[in-house]
Structures are given as structure tokens and as C-alpha cells.
Structure 1
Amino acid sequence: MTLANGMATPSQAVGEARGSGPADGFWHVARPVTGPAGGLPEFRQWFAEQTRIHHYRVDRVPLSELSGWHFEDGSGDLVHESGGFFAISGLRVRTGFRRPREWTQPVIVQSEIGVLGILLKRFDGVPHLLMQAKMEPGNINTVQLSPTVQATRSNYTGVHRGRRVPYLEYFMGPHRGTVLADSLQSEQGWWFLHKRNRNMVVETREEVPLLDGFRWVTLPELGELLRSDNLVNMDSRTVLSTLPCGQPAPELVDAATDPYRRAALRSLAPRYGSVHSLQEVLRRLTDARSRHELVQRRVPLREVLDEGSWQRTERGIARPDGRHFEVVGVDVRAERREVGRWSQPLVAPVAGLSGLFVKRIDGVLHLLLEARVEAGTLNVCEYAPSVQCSPSHHAAGGGTELLGRLLSTPRDRIRYDAVQSEEGGRFHHAVTRNLVVEADDDFPLTEPEGHCWVTLHQAQELLRHSNYLNVQARTLVACLSLGLF
């Protein structure tokens, strides 16, 4: 197959870009052996110490016993007494995606837009990112590596009446640094209704005070940490996916001895071509958004429960068959958070699977993405991984051809395999197995319906804008891109 030339897309075709990185990205920087704090061995020692020395406690409690929360008269929605934070409401969905169907479900409604920001600073010319060891009540291991700033509007405007959010001034207000990336990105469409957060990467040249619980980490170190299970949290991964890595120089590409790495580095530069132009990638998504039906109507939670497919018990809200997810309550004590104690509901989903097929096409690595409709998506559909599902659900129905290929892949063709947590501030022990599988020669170049071959460069160009790649796809793009440093 002859690849199309990688041409820049006019700004009017993709919308106004928000922020841009240095033209040559970060590839001209020699790969450091260690960062200013001593490299990965000392990082792991520091992280283990952060987990050990600080005390947290998360207890499951009935929804009726959540302090500050109540089921609203009339609607039955689970809401906070302040009127802020979020609510558990009901959603009625009708869609023709894959097959016509209609259903109701509980859904998280949180209209406010939070800030997820990573601060970047160069030490001796080497980019470092300021990360924090942060407790979230739903994390399977309590503490994970988070962005510099991870705050809802309720957090940073003081609705919780807690301590100020550290480092927020670098991302908002007159003292903000140089913005490298700034876009609104979606959250999990099956559990949120129209939820988005502001994803930012900001560079500073100022001296930055290093607070307890924070640490500077290099790009190669983050690439390695992303291979660990449940270590780098979802908010970090989504911001990292928007990082403008730039194009590696031809000599760096040519020096790569491993064919897969060479193809992946070529995938970051438009000069090596692509199966489709960026205009065609966008056209396909626009076509899917026009063709698929997605009708969403927020309804009272009481209506969802009255229909009987979801039930409220002493344990929480769930389906009798145990499918999809349940809504549970937790009481939290955390000494290092803005507030030391609080209660809240969490969504506890079944384990998920996100699988990305990649293929070397004329020496350039391509990612197979699918335009996928989800219940709470803002704009009908976004590009998602090749496969995105709950394996336990598909087992009963036999699954799909792509899922079968994914699960039967020989070990030597798996390029990435790690279990990652979803956002622990809203989800309880929500984990997804993330796989990147290099397709073999028998894998067809002809895309299944709704799928599209996309290069890493094209994916990163899309991520300069809002609502093109869903959160699962962004995780896999981050893991692929940072794994090359």
C-alpha cells in the first residue's frame, strides 16, 4: 500500500488549536540516566514511602448514611447538600450504534469543568514533569501518581472549605507559565453525562518550591512507570497524551535498530506518510457522528429504579444480573487531602478491556481506532481503541472477531500489557487491562466498519483539540508515545 503524504490540516478543518509545544518537541534532548532526584530506583523508594507514612481509610457505607448527601425528594437523585460536586441521576438512551436499542441507567452528572495540569521545567536542558503521590478513595491501591494539579471547580473555588490547591497559580491567572497544551477532553462516556476536564501542560522557568508529596520525573521515567499496573493514574495519562512530543529527527529514526521502534518513531512524523490524510481521518469521524443515532435524555433516578432493571439495596444501586456497574457509598479519612474527612458515592464497574491493534504499513506504525458511541458522550462518538469492552459481558454472547483476535494473540506480538485504574475520585476499584498488539501479516489492511488506521502523529494532532479521542484511546496513545523516549 502506498501511503498518502502527511499534510498539515488547515485550522478551519479541525478547529482552533489551544497551545502548542516547541517545534522540535523533546527529541533533541539526550536520554538522561537519572533525573534530579535520582532516577527510577529512588523514585520507587520515594513512592513506597509516600504510601507508607500517610494514613488513609476508606470504608464502604450504605448510600443512606453518606454524610452531606441525600436522595432528593421527587427525582430520587443522589445529591450533595451544597448543590455542588456531582449528582447520581438517571439517563435514558436510544442509539442505533451496531444495533438499535434503548435503555435507562444511573449516570454521574457533573457539569463543572475541572483542571488537570502538569507542570514542566527543564533541568540542565532535560524536561521534567512535576507529579504528585495522591490518594483517591476509589483507587485499588489508594495512592497513585497524579498530575501536578487535579482539581474540580468545587475544589479550587473552595466549595469544600478545605486547603488551597497547590501549584494552581501556574495554570490559572496572571502568573501562568508557557502553555504547551490546553484542551477540553472527555471522561468515561458510559458513566458520565457530557463530562469534560481541562487538560493542560504548562512550562515554567521559575524556581518551583517542591512540596511534600511531589516529585520531578523525566519523560523516559514516566514511559517506564506507565508499564506498571495501577501506578500512573488516569488523570495523568490523559494529560500526558496531549503532551506535544514533536517529531524525532531523521537520524534518530534511522539509528533505531528495532524495526517496531523505528516504525513507531516514523509514525510520529508526517514526512513518512500515512494511510489516510488527517482530513480523511476527520471526515470519517464526522460521517460516523452524522450517521449514528444517539438520543440522550436525563431522567429522575427514581424513574430508572421504578423500571426494575436497576435496584436500590442496602449495599447500593445495581442491576440484579450484576452487569455493567453499581453505585456504592464510601466514608473517607485522608490526612493529606484538602479536606480530611468526607463521604461520597462512587461508581464501581466490572473490569474492562481496551485493546489497540497496531500494524507496520510501509514501515510506518498505524493504530486501528474505532468511532464508538457511548451513552453519555457529548458529540455522539469519539475515536476509541480497536476493542473496548467488559470481557465478562462478551463471554456470554461469544464476543467479536476483533476481541477473539486480541485475546488469542501470541505473547511475542504483545507490545504493551498493563492493568490501569480509572479515575479514583469517582470510581471504586475500576480497572482496565490495556493491550497494544502488533497485528500479523494476515491481519487485513481493509478496516472493519467504523474503524480507521491512524498514525501517532495524527492522533497527537487530534489531541490538540477537544472530543476526538476518548479516555481509553488517550491512555494507549500516552503509553505508546512515552514508551519511545
Structure 2
Amino acid sequence: MVARLSFLSQAKFSRDTELLFLRSALTVENPFNSTQQVLEWIQERNRQVKVRVDRIPFTQMKSWGFDAERSRLAHSSGSFFSIDGINVRTNVGPVQDWDQPIINQPEIGYLGIITKIFNGTLYFLLQAKIEPGNVNNVQLSPTLQATKSNYTRIHKGKSPKYLEYFTDRLRCEILLDQLQSEQGARFLKKRNRNIIIKTDSEIEVFEDYCWLTLGQIKELMGMDNVVNMDTRTVISGISYGNHSDETVSFYNLLNNPSGTVGTRFLASELNAEVALHTTDAIIHWFTNLKTQYDLFIKALPLHAVRDWIIARDCIYHKDDKFFRVIGVHVEIANREVTGWDQPIIEPMDEGICAFIVKNIKGVIHFLVQAKVESGNFDILEMAPTVQCITSSYKNEESVRTLPYLGEVLAADSKNIIYDTMQSEEGGRFYREQNRNVIILVDESFSEKVPENYIWMTLNQLKVFNKFNNYLNIQARGLIAGISYR
């Protein structure tokens, strides 16, 4: 009996939380900060906070360097992260054997957001944070964004603000708690703890923080490079519940009978009954591919990585493709440590991440790709329809051979639902931004797809996103930006 009561109590908590999230997602009116005021505040922080990022040779980086054999680039403490070499072998794609440098950061950090209810609406405490690689300095980050090396103060600096709310479980109610992956082509099996907590107590709001509704955050995600990657991945984990087809149809009839794109996306999010494939069928598809596809990773010393050259100020590919590893000296006035050196990844060009979506059986479905990347934790992750994070997509060969790239690049503007430039994580990537696109195709677009693609509703994507290592960070960033208004 006690166990059943506990289950019922948890079920009620889940429903109440989902309704809180949904109400916040549909609210953009904010008595604390209008969306325009937030944008002006970000611009003001950019003017006020001193930021300087200078490229420097590896030999000038304080506390960083190559070991005697030039096998890796690492911090003298052994903490933070290192740049290692790997050989990758797979049986997928046109290139099945290659070497590359990769970021090795095995520790799990916090990406955490504090929430609080004001006048019945849930608000999110976000930070105007400057990272050395941000294209525009200030972006909106989670309340707490800290690696384990940061929050254990290996850098000898100040403790991150609000850390105690996440480490003291009695302070807050946990609304979401997940381990999620980072960029599989750049990080070696990297994961962070994505967590949202709710407090009922008074909380001090420091200078670089502000309260926003979820609807405002989504509104800001529709603008270029305002909301950082870490906030987007945390927001992507939010679920608004599972409802019957009849309930969703009734809701839409009452609230928006004209059926805007936003309400159609919300219906895809809430409808747990109508889908082209069952959840079990999707699991079978994904498991079957994992048994067919190989991914073998072998550690290499950096000096032995084929086709990559170690110069005095960068590590680069012989054909100047993909990315470079560079060294930077950083000075940011409002950080726990105001000055430091570090290696950082510089892309050779911007990329594109795109979902094709289609109305199937009356519900919007997303065309999802099962993608192998060198740093994946478990061979495959669910990715956008098209994901090219380098300029390689701009040549005719790629347009001809890469599935759906031609359709994405040739999409009529009237069919593009979402189109923004979004930055990758500025602590590890130097001014990297990718075009994020969602394209709604018509009934003539074929539902038949290659073996590593499948149609899924937004509700199904959110179901898989509750668990580790299913949706990659590019897919999570795109679904986070969907507005239901």
C-alpha cells in the first residue's frame, strides 16, 4: 500500500511539473524583464565587462603543454581536459578509417537551472555568461555551468555562484536530472549532468542573472547566438506530458482552432497515441543498427596522428579541413578566475544542422538520423536529418551523395519554420556557429527512408531524450528552440 501511494504521489508530481513547464512555455509576458529588456541587458553587459582573448603559441600557455613525447596536450594539474589523438575505424560512410585529435574530458560537469514560481508561473534563472569562444561574448547560460574541475576549484578561484543549491538536496525539488552527451565528433565520450531544480525560498539574484519564462527563452532561441548551447541542451529535456489524441484535439479546438505551426508542434509534443512507428519499433530499429554498425577507437599519441600537423601555434589538418586546435590567453573580468590560458577548437567554417518534418497521420513527424560519430558513448545517437559541422556540405559531391542535403539547401523560404545561427559551447570551441533549420515538407515528400533514418513524433523524441545517449546535442538543440505559440 505504501509503495502504491508513493507511486501515485510521484505520478501527481510528474503531472504538476509538466503543467508548470507547459504554462511557462506558453508565457512570454514577464513583469520582471520583458524580452526586449533582456536583449538590452545583454548588450549592456557586453559594454561593461572587460573581455580579451588573444591567440598565443602553445609554448606560451601557462600551465598547459605537450608531454615529452608530444603524445597529448594537457594541463599541468592533470585536470580540466586534454587534447588526445585517436584512430577511428567503422563500417559506415565513405571514409571508414581515419585519425584525428579529440577533446578528452572524462569528468561530468553541472549544467543546472534554478526555477521558482511567481504568481503561478515557473521562471528560470539564467546567467549572462561570457565564454572565450563565444562569437558575441555574452550569451544566456544555465544558472550553474561548471566542470568538476571548476566547482572543486582546481583553478584556485572562487566557487561558482548557486553551487550549494545543486549539491544540497534538501534545498530544492528536482524537476529534471539527466546525463547527456556533448559533440560526438569533437569530445571523447563526454557527458554532463543536465538538471533543473525548483526552490520555494527567497533567492538572491546576482548582477549577471535574471528570471525568464520558458516562453521567453524559446523566443530568444529564435534569434542568432543569444541562448548558449548549454541552456539549449537542458531545456530540451523538458517534457509536457503524454496525452490522448482526443485530448490534444480538444485542446487545440479550444485554444487555436486555426491550427498555427506552433500548436501543431505542441500537438506532436503532447500526443502519445498517434505515430507512424511504435516506441518498441523505434527501439528495435536503433538496436538493430547498433548490431550492424562498428565503431572502434584506439588511442594514439598526437605526433602519430595521420594527416595532422603540430605547428608552434596550432594543430591542423594537412588539407586545412575540419578544425584546428589553437592556444588562447583569456581575460574576463566577471569570472571566478579572471585570467587563464587554454587550448580551444577553431572550426574551419560554419556548418548546418537541419530537421525535415512532415505531417503524417495528422501529427508532425521528424525525420531522424542514426549517426555514428567518433566520440559517441555507444556507437550511435539520434541526430538531425542533416548534420554537417564543417563546410564540406558546400561542394557538389556532398549535395549529390549526402541524404537530404540537397532538399535542405534548396528549401523554399515559405517552408522554413525555424532558421537561426547558434553557437557551439564557447568554453571549448572558438567562435563556432552552425545554421539550425527546421523545414516543413508537403505530402509529396516520400515517407520511405534509408535504413539509418526513421520518422518520429516530438513526443517520441522526448521519451528517448529522458535516457542517456539517445539524442545527440545537435538534435537536442534544435528541438529546444521549437516554440508552441
Same fold (TM over 0.5): yes
Q: Distance in 2 between matches of 1:44 and 1:395?
A: 33
Cα offset, 1:394, TM superposition? 3.0
Which residue in 2 is equivalent to 1:367? 366
Structure 1 residues 275, 105: closer, same or farther in 2, change over 3 A? same
Q: CA deviation at 1:404?
A: 0.2
Q: In the aligned structure 2, how far is the partner of 1:412 from the partner of 1:213?
A: 38
Deviations 1:405-462 (A, max 9, x none): 0000000000000000000000101111000000122210112220111111111111
1:73 is paired with a residue of what secondary structure? Answer: coil
* Corresponding residue for residue 244 of structure 1: 239
Following the alignment from structure 2 to structure 1, what is the Cα–Cα distance between the partners of residues 85 and 24?
50
- The letter for the 1-side match of 2:60 is E
Residue in 2 that maps onto 1:280:
281
After superposition, where does 1:197-216 map in structure 2 within 5 Å? Answer: 197-216=192-211
Equivalent residue letter for 1:275: L
Residues 355 and 385 of structure 1 are in contact (CA less than 8 Å); yes or no, is this contact kept in structure 2?
A: yes
**AA of the residue aligned to 2:440:** E
One-letter code aligned to 1:258: G
Deviation at 1:72, TM superposition (A): 0.6
Aligned residues with identical type, % of pairs: 39
User: In structure 1, what residue type is equivalent to 2:341?
Assistant: S
Instruction: Tell me which of 153, 160, 164 is aligned to 2:155.
Output: 160
The reply on whether 1:393 has 2:388 as its aligned counterpart is no
| Structure 2 partner of 1:416 | 418
SS state at 2:22 partner: coil
2:191 & 2:202 partners in 1: Cα distance?
Answer: 31
Counterpart of 1:120 in structure 2 is 115
Q: CA RMSD in A?
A: 1.9
Q: Which amino acid aligns with 1:347?
A: I
Q: 1:343 aligns with which of 327, 335, 341?
A: 341
Deviates more, 1:22-31 or 1:452-461: 22-31
Residue 437 of structure 1 is matched in structure 2 by: 439
Matching of residues 127-276 of structure 1 within 5 Å: 127-246=122-241, 250=248, 251-254=250-253, 255-256=255-256, 257-276=258-277
**What residue in structure 2 maps to residue 14 of structure 1?**
none
Deviations 1:268-321 (A, max 9, x none): 1234411111122222111111110100112111211xx3x0112233010121
Q: 1:65: Cα distance to partner?
A: 1.2
2:356 matched residue in structure 1: 357
Greater helix percent: which structure?
Answer: 2
Pair 29,195 (structure 1): closer, same or farther in 2 beyond 3 Å? closer
One-letter identity of the residue aligned with 1:437: I
Report the number of matched residues. Answer: 463
Counterpart secondary structure, 2:170: coil
* Cα distance, 1:31–1:104 mapped onto 2, change above 3 Å: closer
Q: Is the CA contact (8 Å cut-off) linking 2:85 and 2:300 kept in structure 1? A: yes
CA contact (8 A) 2:252 2:259 kept: no
- Judge conservation of contact 1:115–1:152 (CA < 8 Å) in 2: yes
3-state DSSP class of the match of 1:211?
coil
Alignment correspondent of 2:383: 384
SS of 1:133 mapped into structure 2: strand
1:313 aligned residue (311, 314, 318): 311
TM-score (norm 1): 0.92
Q: Could you say if the C-alpha distance between residues 150 and 472 of structure 1 is closer, same or farther in structure 2, counting changes exceeding 3 Å?
A: same
CA separation of 1:341/1:364 partners in 2, compared to 1, >3 Å: closer, same or farther? same
The alignment partner of 1:130 has SS state of strand
Rounded Cα–Cα distance in structure 1 between residues aligned with 2:376 and 2:158: 33
Q: Per the alignment, in what secondary structure is the counterpart of residue 289 of structure 1?
A: helix
Compute the displacement of 1:215 (Å). 0.3
Asked if the contact 2:420/2:437 (under 8 Å) is kept, the reply is: yes
8 Å contact 2:133–2:426 — kept in the other structure?
yes
Distance 1:449 1:405 in 2: 18
CA distance in 2, matches of 1:150, 1:30: 22
Identify unmatched segments of 5+ residues in structure 2.
Answer: 1-10
The aligned counterpart of 2:7 is: none
Listed as ranges, the matches of 1:452-463 within 5 Å are 452-463=454-465
For 1:314, give the aligned amino acid.
R
Aligned partners of 2:23, 2:338: CA distance in 1, in Å?
A: 44
> 2:408, 2:175 → 1: CA distance?
35
CA distance in 1, matches of 2:295, 2:200: 46
Where does residue 5 of structure 2 map in the other structure?
A: none
Please report how far the alpha carbon of residue 192 of structure 1 lies from its aligned counterpart in structure 2 after TM superposition. 0.6
Q: Which residue in the other structure is 1:39 paired with?
A: 34
Write the distance in 1 (CA, Å) between the matches of 2:211 and 2:273: 34
Cα 1:97–1:376, aligned 2, differ >3 Å: closer, same or farther? same
1:28: how far off? 4.9
Are the structure 2 counterparts of residues 395 and 50 from structure 1 closer, same or farther at C-alpha, using a change threshold of 3 Å? closer
> Tell me, which stretches of 5 or more residues in structure 1 are unaligned?
1-16
Normalised to the residue count of structure 2, the TM-score between the two structures is: 0.92
Give the superposition deviation at 1:25: 4.8
- Which string of whole-angstrom CA distances, capped at 9 and with x for unpartnered residues, describes residues 237-292 of structure 1? 00000122335863432232235333212211234411111122222111111110
CA distance in 1: counterparts of 2:161 and 2:65, whole angstroms: 31
SS at match of 1:27: helix
Counterpart contact for 1:253–1:265, Cα < 8 Å: no
- Match of 2:6? none
What is the CA–CA distance in structure 2 between the aligned matches of 1:31 and 1:270, rounded to whole Å?
17
Answer yes or no: is 1:473 the counterpart of 2:475. Answer: yes
Cα separation, partners in 2 of 1:373 and 1:39, compared to 1, 3 Å: same
Aligned letter for 2:323? F
Cα deviation for residue 369 of structure 1 reads 0.6
